[in-house]
Structure 1
Amino acid sequence: MAVPIRTAVAALCAGLAATLCTTAPARAGQDTPSPEHAWSVSGPERTAAAHEPLARISLDDSTGALSLSVSRGGRTVIEPSPVGIVTQQADLSKDLHFLHRRDRLVEERYRTKSGKRLYRQVRMNETRLSFATAAGAQLDLVVRASADGVAYRYVLPTGGYGDVLGETSAFNLPPDASTWLGTYRADNEGQFSQYTAATAPTGEYSDQALFATDGGYTLLAESDLTGAYSGARLAHDQGTGTYRIKLADEAVHTDGRLATPWRAMVTGDLATVTRSTFTDDLAPASQVRDPSWIRPGTVLWTWLAGGREAGQSLTAQKAYVDYAAERGWPYEAVDAGWYFKSDAWDTTDPNWQTDSWMPQLVDYARAKGVGIVVWIHQRDLDTPEERAQWLPTLERWGVKGVKIDFMNSEAQSMLQWYDAILKDTAAHHLMIDFHGSTIPKGIQRTWPQVMTLEGVGGEEKRTNTAAHLTTLPFTRNVIGSMDFTPGAFQRVGLRPNSDAAEVGLTVAYESGLQMFAGTPESYDARPLARAFLDQVPAAWDDTRLLAGAPGQEAVLARRSGDRWFLGGVYSGAAHTAEVPLTVGSGRWLVETIRDGADGLVQDRQVLRGGDKFDVEVVANGGFAGLVCRWHPGVTTCYR
C-alpha cells in the first residue's frame, strides 16, 4: 500500500538521522564479520595508473552502509562519503549485504556537433556492485572510472519500491580545501565565489562545484538527467567539508525499475578538468539519426543591441540581417517581442500565423545567407497542442533554431517537459538555445540539436565580477556549451572587464551558437574586435588550457582546422601576463589583441611552440589571439 507523502518524508528524516547517529547490531546468521568489505575501481589506462583516479567503495559491516572515496596517486580527492538512496518501501542507505560484483570495459567513439572537441573517444572501467537488505530489497551501485573522472549511479533493478524520497549521497572534502561555489538559483545563474570547503556559508549551491585538494582539482557534476528523476543541488552546513545531494522534489515518482543520473567527479590537474568531456561521455548516445541539419555558428543577437523594440520591428531586424550578412556571421537571433500583441497571440485562432512578419524576415535573411533563430517563452510550448502549433509552423517558415526561455526549474515535471521538447524539436529540425534553464548534464551528446544553454550569470547581469568571469571556464563551461553572450562592447560600466577581455571571452567561453551581444555601432567603433569576431567559429577540434587559476586567470586555446584561437581573461591589477604557447612544435605566427592607451592594439610575433610570450593586461583585462603556422611569406592568420 502506498505511503502518504507527508508520512513518507517524516520517515525519511527519521531514517536518515538513525543512519547517521546510531550503529546497528551485526546481522543474525553471519559468520564473524570483518569491519568492512571494500572494492576498488580505477581508470583503464594502466600506463598512467599513478595519475588516474581510484574509487574505493566500502560496506560497513556493523551498519550495512556504503561509502565511496576517490584518490589519485595515493592523494585525497574525495574523502569517504556516504552513498545511498531511500524510497517509500525500502531504505537502501543502510542494513545492506553484498551479493555479487560484475565488471566491464566501456569503449565508445562518437562525434558531436558542438563542444570543446568534436571527436570523442571513451574508455572507462565499470563495476556493478549488487546489494540487498534482509527483506530482499535490492540496490545496484554502478561505478565508472576513466582517466579524468569517477561517477556512480543507483540502479533499482526490480522496482516496486515506490517513490524516491531522497539520497544520502554526499561529498566529504578536507575542511581547508579551496572551493569555488555558485549560489543555487532555479535558473542556475548564481555567481561563483571562492571559499574553503568548511567556511562556505550554510546554504544551497549549484552541483557544479570545484574543489582543490592534494589530489588535484575536482568538479562535481551530474549526467544523464531526464524526466525519470529530479535535478540535484548541493546543501552545505558551514563548519563542515560535507556537501549533500538535495533533490528538487520531495518525492520522485517511479513506475518501476530506475537508473538515477550519474553523480560525477571530474578530476585531475586543472588542464585535465578544463579539457574533460566526462559528463558527455557518461550520457546516452545521440537520438538524432541524421544530424546534418545541425550547424553551429556565430550569431548577431539583438536583445542587448536593441531590446524589445527591435524585436517588434521588421525594419530593424532586416538591418541586423544586413549587418550579419556583411560580416559573414551565419545567424541572427530575434528575441522577445516579435510575436507579442498584448501578452501572447491567441494560437487557437486558425489565422494567427498570418499576423507575423517572421516569414518575410526569414525569406529576406535566407537570400543573404543568414539563418534566423527566434526567442519563445516556455509557457507557449508547454503542452503537446501548443508544440504542435508552434514547431511545424517555425519549421515551415524556415526558422533554424529556437531560444526557449523561463523554465526556471529542475523538478521532475519540468524535466519531463524537456524530454518532450527535445524529441519534438529534433523531429522539426530546430536547433535549441535554452535560457532560464538547467545546465547541460550530458544533454548535448544525446540531443545534439541543443547548441547551448544559459544556466550562467551571463552578459545581461550587472553584478558580475572579473573573478566570476575567470572562474566560469573551470566550472560551468567544463560540462557543456554556455550562452554567456559575449561581445557587449556598448555596456561600458555595466561589465567588469576591458574591451580586449570581452573579445577574449568569445574564445574562452565555448558555445555552439556563440551569441554576440553588441550593437553594430560598437563593433564598427572597434575594427580590430570586429575583424576578430569575423574569424571566430563556434565548433572546435581541440581545446587546451594554456594558463589558469580559478578566480584569477584563464587562458584557453581552441583549434579550428589548422588555426588556434586564444582567449585570455584576468581579474585584479594591471600586469604583464606570461603565456606559454603550448599548441605544438614548429614555428607559429601569433597575432594578439590587447588594450592600449587609446583603444585596442594588435601585436604580431613569430614564436616556436613551447615558447612563452608576454601580454600587457590592464586591470580586469584580457586579450584575444589567432595563431597559425609560420613560414616565409605568411604575414597574417586572418582569412
Structure 2
Amino acid sequence: MVRINYLLLLLLLVAAKASSQTNIVVKSPNQKISFNLSVQKNKLSYFISGNNIKVIEPSAISMALDLATITEGVTLGKAEVYELNEQYPWYGAHSTARNHYKGAKIPVSKGSLNYFLDVRVFNDGAAFRLIVPGKEQQKRIADEATVFTLPKGTAAWYHDLYMHYEGVYEKRLLDTVKAGQWAAPSVTFQLPGSKLYVAITEADLKNYGGMALQSNGRRGMVLRLPQNQPTSYPYKLRYSPEDTLKRSKPAAITGTIHTPWRVIMIAENLNSLVNNDMVHNLCPPPDKQLFPEGIKTAWIKPGPAVWKYLDDGGESSVANMKEFSRMAAELGFKHNILEGFWRRWSDNELQDLVNYSKEKGVGIWLWEHSKDLWDAGKRQAFFKKCHDMGIAGLKLDFFDHEGKDVVDLYQDILKETAALQLMLDFHGANKPTGTERTWPNELTREAVKGMEASKLADRAGHNVTLPFTRFIAGHAEYTPVHFGERRKNTTWAHQIATAAIFSAPLLTYAASPQNLLNNPAVEMIKSIPSIWDETIVLPGSAIGEAAVYARRKGDTWFLAVINGSKPKKLNIPLSFLVRDAYQTLEVKDTQGNTGALTLENKTYGKADSIELELGEGGGYIARFGL
C-alpha cells in the first residue's frame, strides 16, 4: 500500500511539473518584440525585447492583496493564446486605428489562489495586466510595485507629481536619477546607442487607482498606486485636509480585480511613437446602444472652439457670448466654451444663448466644478437639465487626483452624459488612458501644462517636448494659440503652428475670436482641422528641440513646424506630398519681430523642399491645397 501511495504521489508530481511552465514567451505578430515571463528567485519576473534589444531588463511583477504578496512563490500554468487584427475609426494622429496583437492569458498559482497574467504584444509594444478572480461582494485592497528597469545610459523625459499632471518635462539620464523621485506617466525614454524610444503609461483605467512611477535609484521605475503617492499641490489647494486624508487611504475593490494595462510602447523613431495606437487599442469599443456609429455617432461633433478666459474678450454677458458664437461661426468653429460666469444668468437667458448659437451652428459648453458632482442625484439632475436645454457639452474641472473613487466618478460621469448625449471636456484631470475609445463623448482632457500657465518662461522648449511625451498618451487640452505676453519666447507663427500639432477633437483656442479674426493669418487659422487623417513626424524633429509635422485632412496637407529655445536650420523635403503642384499658403516668422508674421502664396510639389532658418521659439505652417 505504501509503495502504491508513493508511486501515485510521484505521478502527481510529474504531472504537475508537466503542466507548469518555467518560461513563457509571447511575440508580436511581426516577431520583432517579445514579452518573456518566468519565475526568478521565487518572484514573478519579466523582460521585454525589441529588435533584439532588451528595452525592459529583467524586472519583478509585484502585486499584493490585503498586504499579502501574491506574486512570490508562484507557479505558471499553460498559456491560453489568442490574437486580434482589426481596424476602427479614430480621432487622433490618424483616422483609422490598427489593433493587431498576439495575446496570452497565463494562469498563475500561489497556494490556493489562482489568477491570470494577461499579456498582449503588438508590433510597437507590449502590455500586461493582472486579473484576480473574486466573489461578487468580496472586498480586497490591492497594491502594486511592479518595476520597469531600463538599460544603462537611457535618457528619460518626465515631470514630478507636484502639479499633478501639469508639470514641465525635464530630461534626465536615468543612471543619475536618485531613488524616490516621482514621474507622472506617460514617461518617454530613449535607449543608448540607438534611436529606439520607449514610453510607459497605463490603459483602461477604471475601478482602480491611477498609477505613478517612482525611481528606485537603479534605473528602475516602480509602479505606485495612489495610497503611496504624494498629494498634489492643486488638490491640497482646492480641497480640505479631510478630503486629502480620505484620498490617501487605500481603496477596496469589490469582486474580480482587473488592474489597468501596464503599457510599454516601443518605437524606432518619433513618427512611430506619435502614431502608436496601443493605449486606446487596450480599451473596449463603445457601446452600440449609446454610440450606434461609434465615434461617428451624429451628436459627437469634434471641432475648434472659442473661449473667453485667457485673452480678455469683454463682458461675461449673454450679449457678448452671443457675439462670441457669431464670431465662432465666422471662423468656422463649432463650439463656444463658457466658464463659470454662466451661473449668474437666469435659465431663460441661458436658453436664449443656446438657441441663438444653435442657429449659427455653434454648440454651447458649460463649466462646472467637480466637487458639485459627487452627489449622484444632484449630478444627474444637472446633466438632465443641460440635456433639456440643448447644451452641447460640459467642461468639468478640478479633479486633481487619481484615487479609485475619483476614477469611479469619471466613469459615472461618462456613462450618465453619454445616455443624455452630452460631450465632455475634463479639466484639472488625470492622464488619458484610452477610455475615450469606450466613451467617445470625451473629446479632450487637460492633464498638461498649457496656455493657462502664465509664468512658463521657456514655453518654446516646453512646446517641443509635449508632442513626444504627454501627447503620446492621448488628446490634451493645451488651449493653443495666444498672441499676447503668455506666448513668452515663441513667435506668432509658432503659436499658429501649435494648433496643428497640439490636436484634440475639441480644439479650444486661447486667443479671443476677435483677435483670431484680426490676425493676418486668419485664413490659415480657419482651415486648421481638429482631427486628422494622417500624421507624419518628419526628420528634424527631436524631443525638446523641434517638432516637424506633416498632417493630412482629405486631400489637403499641412506642414507645421515649431522650434525650441535654440536657433535651428531645417531642410524639409516635401516627398510626403502626392502631387507635382499644390497651391500653398505659408505663414512664416518675420525677422526681428516675434509679434508679427509673413504670409506668402507659392506653388510647391512633391519634388520640392523647404528651407527654414528658425530663431528661438520660431515657427512655420503651410497649407498645400489642390
Q: What TM-score, normalized to structure 1?
A: 0.85
Deviation at 1:526, TM superposition (A): 2.2
**Equivalent residue, structure 2, for 1:385:** 377
Where does 1:571-582 land on structure 2 (aligned, <5 Å)?
571-582=564-575
Please give the alpha-carbon distance, in whole angstroms, between the structure 2 residues aligned to 1:126 and 1:567: 38
**Equivalent residue, structure 2, for 1:68:** 46
User: Which of 134, 151, 158 matches 1:174?
Assistant: 151
**Equivalent residue, structure 2, for 1:59:** 39
Deviation at 1:494, TM superposition (A): 5.0
Q: Deviations over 1:77-100 (max 9, x none)?
A: 111111121101742121001222
* Alignment CA distance shift 1:55-1:608 (3 Å): farther
User: Which of 414, 426, 440 matches 2:418?
Assistant: 426
CA RMSD of aligned residues (A): 2.4
Please give the alpha-carbon distance, in whole angstroms, between the structure 2 residues aligned to 1:138 and 1:509: 45
Q: Deviations over 1:197-223 (max 9, x none)?
A: 122354211120000115610111110
**Equivalent residue, structure 2, for 1:109:** 87
* Alignment CA distance shift 1:363-1:32 (3 Å): closer
User: Which of 276, 297, 301 matches 1:295?
Assistant: 301
**Equivalent residue, structure 2, for 1:460:** 452
Please give the alpha-carbon distance, in whole angstroms, between the structure 1 residues aligned to 2:109 and 2:607: 55
Deviation at 1:125, TM superposition (A): 0.2
**Equivalent residue, structure 2, for 1:560:** 553
**Equivalent residue, structure 1, for 2:242:** none
Please give the alpha-carbon distance, in whole angstroms, between the structure 1 residues aligned to 2:581 and 2:447: 37
Q: Is 1:99 aligned with 2:113?
A: no
Deviation at 1:430, TM superposition (A): 0.9
Please give the alpha-carbon distance, in whole angstroms, between the structure 2 residues aligned to 1:386 and 1:579: 55
| 2:383 match: secondary structure | helix
* Alignment CA distance shift 1:313-1:171 (3 Å): same
**Equivalent residue, structure 2, for 1:280:** 280
| Equivalenced residues, count | 574
Q: Is 1:140 aligned with 2:116?
A: yes
* Alignment CA distance shift 1:493-1:84 (3 Å): closer
8 A contact 2:63–2:144 mirrored in 1: yes
Q: Is 1:225 aligned with 2:205?
A: yes
Please give the alpha-carbon distance, in whole angstroms, between the structure 2 residues aligned to 1:508 and 1:251: 38
For 1:276, the aligned partner's letter is N
For 1:338, the aligned partner's letter is W
For 2:77, the aligned partner's letter is L
**Equivalent residue, structure 1, for 2:625:** 628
For 1:163, the aligned partner's letter is R
For 1:549, the aligned partner's letter is A
Please give the alpha-carbon distance, in whole angstroms, between the structure 1 residues aligned to 2:515 and 2:95: 32
* Alignment CA distance shift 1:398-1:519 (3 Å): same
Task: Give 5+ residue unaligned stretches, structure 1.
Answer: 1-27, 342-353, 630-639
**Equivalent residue, structure 2, for 1:152:** 128
* Alignment CA distance shift 1:392-1:612 (3 Å): same
* Alignment CA distance shift 1:186-1:137 (3 Å): farther
Q: Is 1:193 aligned with 2:170?
A: yes
User: Which of 27, 46, 59 matches 1:42?
Assistant: 27
Where does 1:14-25 land on structure 2 (aligned, <5 Å)?
none
User: Which of 474, 478, 482 matches 1:484?
Assistant: 478
For 2:352, the aligned partner's letter is Q
Q: Is 1:502 aligned with 2:482?
A: no
**Equivalent residue, structure 1, for 2:263:** 264
Please give the alpha-carbon distance, in whole angstroms, between the structure 2 residues aligned to 1:89 and 1:457: 36
Please give the alpha-carbon distance, in whole angstroms, between the structure 2 residues aligned to 1:184 and 1:271: 28
User: Which of 348, 364, 371 matches 1:372?
Assistant: 364
Q: Deviations over 1:215-242 (max 9, x none)?
A: 610111110101x1110001114x4211
| 1:459 match: secondary structure | coil
8 A contact 1:583–1:610 mirrored in 2: no
Stretch of structure 1 that moved more, 322-331 or 394-403: 322-331
* Alignment CA distance shift 1:89-1:173 (3 Å): closer
For 2:257, the aligned partner's letter is L
8 A contact 1:76–1:213 mirrored in 2: no
* Alignment CA distance shift 1:187-1:357 (3 Å): farther
Identity %: 26
Where does 1:430-441 land on structure 2 (aligned, <5 Å)?
430-441=422-433
Deviation at 1:388, TM superposition (A): 2.3
Q: Is 1:595 aligned with 2:589?
A: yes
Deviation at 1:467, TM superposition (A): 1.8
Deviation at 1:518, TM superposition (A): 0.5
Deviation at 1:402, TM superposition (A): 0.7
**Equivalent residue, structure 1, for 2:213:** 234
Please give the alpha-carbon distance, in whole angstroms, between the structure 2 residues aligned to 1:573 and 1:217: 23
**Equivalent residue, structure 1, for 2:3:** none
Deviation at 1:319, TM superposition (A): 1.9
Please give the alpha-carbon distance, in whole angstroms, between the structure 1 residues aligned to 2:489 and 2:451: 10
Please give the alpha-carbon distance, in whole angstroms, between the structure 2 residues aligned to 1:379 and 1:100: 47
| 1:460 match: secondary structure | coil
Please give the alpha-carbon distance, in whole angstroms, between the structure 1 residues aligned to 2:134 and 2:85: 27
Task: Give 5+ residue unaligned stretches, structure 2.
Answer: 1-11, 228-248
Stretch of structure 1 that moved more, 271-280 or 596-605: 596-605
Q: Deviations over 1:573-632 (max 9, x none)?
A: 333222232424432434321111352112444444365321231211111121234xxx
Please give the alpha-carbon distance, in whole angstroms, between the structure 2 residues aligned to 1:367 and 1:521: 20
Q: What TM-score, normalized to structure 2?
A: 0.87
Deviation at 1:496, TM superposition (A): 3.2
* Alignment CA distance shift 1:255-1:394 (3 Å): same
| 1:219 match: secondary structure | strand
Please give the alpha-carbon distance, in whole angstroms, between the structure 1 residues aligned to 2:68 and 2:16: 26
Q: Deviations over 1:264-292 (max 9, x none)?
A: 01111221111111100111111333322
8 A contact 1:38–1:56 mirrored in 2: yes
Deviation at 1:481, TM superposition (A): 1.1
Please give the alpha-carbon distance, in whole angstroms, between the structure 2 residues aligned to 1:297 and 1:318: 19
User: Which of 606, 609, 626 matches 1:609?
Assistant: 606
**Equivalent residue, structure 1, for 2:464:** 470
**Equivalent residue, structure 2, for 1:247:** 225
Deviation at 1:505, TM superposition (A): 0.4
Deviation at 1:245, TM superposition (A): 0.5
Please give the alpha-carbon distance, in whole angstroms, between the structure 2 residues aligned to 1:211 and 1:165: 28
8 A contact 1:456–1:482 mirrored in 2: yes
Q: Deviations over 1:374-415 (max 9, x none)?
A: 211112222221122211111121111111101111100111
* Alignment CA distance shift 1:493-1:253 (3 Å): closer
Please give the alpha-carbon distance, in whole angstroms, between the structure 1 residues aligned to 2:135 and 2:154: 39
* Alignment CA distance shift 1:30-1:622 (3 Å): farther
For 2:55, the aligned partner's letter is V
* Alignment CA distance shift 1:200-1:501 (3 Å): farther
